[in-house]
Amino acid sequence: MPVLALLFAVFVVAFEELVQWRFGVVGVFAMVLLSVGWHAKNVTCSCVGAVVLTLLIVH
């Protein structure tokens, strides 16, 4: 179980670094919105973060 948690943490950190490198400050802001909304179970915050990330990826 600790190995699975460690792998998940490494994946999350690597993904956040990739987003920051690729999309800059706006990408980090979108990731924060998405993760905070997910942890707080706030659908609006999660959706805004997801939409911003999608727009950055599509653009």
pTM of the model: 0.68
In whole angstroms, give the CA distance from residue 35 to residue 22. Answer: 18
In whole angstroms, give the CA distance from residue 19 to residue 59. Answer: 14
CB 53 within 8 A of CB 22: no
What is the model's pLDDT at position 51? Answer: 94
Q: What is the pLDDT of residues 22-57, one digit of tens each?
A: 878 888 888 889 888 988 989 999 999 999 989 988
Task: Show Cβ contacts of residue 6 under 8 Å, excluding neighbours closer than 6 positions.
Answer: none
- Residue 11 pLDDT exceeds 70: yes
What is the pLDDT averaged over residues 3-18?
83
In whole angstroms, give the CA distance from residue 31 to residue 55. Answer: 13
